[in-house]
Structure 1
């Protein structure tokens, strides 16, 4: 049985817009990289449908890169997205990552849940920090989308 950890934040935007930020490549490249890391558009493949594949490359500031891969398991716009994610493409299926979007007063509650797997407490803490950075950038993306 999976042991999930979760991050929940409320974004001041309609959930359709938050879902768009999660699933459109031009927005995904911004938040998945965060302000510190580049995800070049030409490395990004997103076939957002059940069974569709995901690939992205993070170009790190130190010159290294991380290759990401996964597949979309469930796609239920604008409320739910489930995918697998791994930084070891070809070696494993990847860990389940769930994005749940709920309408709340003032916007959308975004909950990201990931299977802890064999992560140490330190790895869980680092992953939570990474997801919080993602959400910070998702918030900036949706704010920008609302003003255009």
Structure 2
């Protein structure tokens, strides 16, 4: 049985813009890397449809590189996205990471859920910190997007 941990934040933007920031390569490359890590746009492949593939490289400040891969399992704009994600391409990607977007007063409630799998408590805490950094940058991305 899966045991998910979740991160929930409210962003002051319409969910269509938040969904766009999550699924458009030019925006994804900004927030997935956060301010500290570069995700070269040319390393990014996003076929955002059920069964579509995902690939990205993170270039770390210390010169190391992390290659990410996965696939899109569910795509229901602008409310839900489920994608597998692994920094060990070729390995079993496990259960998908879930992105749920709900309209709320003042914007969009974004909930990211991930299966704990065999993570230690320290790894869960580090992953939550990473997702919070992602969401900080998603906020910056959507602040720069024109409202529909």
What is the distance in 1 between the residues matched to 2:32 and 2:128? 14
Task: Go from structure 1 to structure 2 and tell me whether the alpha carbon gap of 1:116 and 1:139 turns closer, same or farther (over 3 Å shift).
Answer: same
- 1:113 aligns with 113
Give CA deviations for 1:40-77 in whole Å, capped at 9, x if unaligned: 00000000000000000000000000000000000000
- 2:53 aligns with 53
How large is the RMSD of aligned CA atoms in angstroms?
A: 1.2
SS in 2 for 1:145: coil
Count, aligned residues: 148
SS in 2 for 1:78: coil
Q: Report the CA distance between 1:146 and its aligned residue.
A: 3.5
SS in 2 for 1:128: helix
Q: Report the CA distance between 1:91 and its aligned residue.
A: 1.9
- 2:6 aligns with 6
Contact 1:44 1:54 in 2 (8 A): yes
What is the distance in 2 between the residues matched to 1:89 and 1:138? 25
Q: Report the CA distance between 1:96 and its aligned residue.
A: 1.6
- 2:38 aligns with 38
> TM-score when scaled to structure 1?
0.97
> TM-score when scaled to structure 2?
0.97
- 2:142 aligns with 142
- 2:70 aligns with 70
Specify every segment of 5 or more residues in structure 1 that has no aligned partner in the other structure, as ranges. none
Contact 1:51 1:73 in 2 (8 A): yes
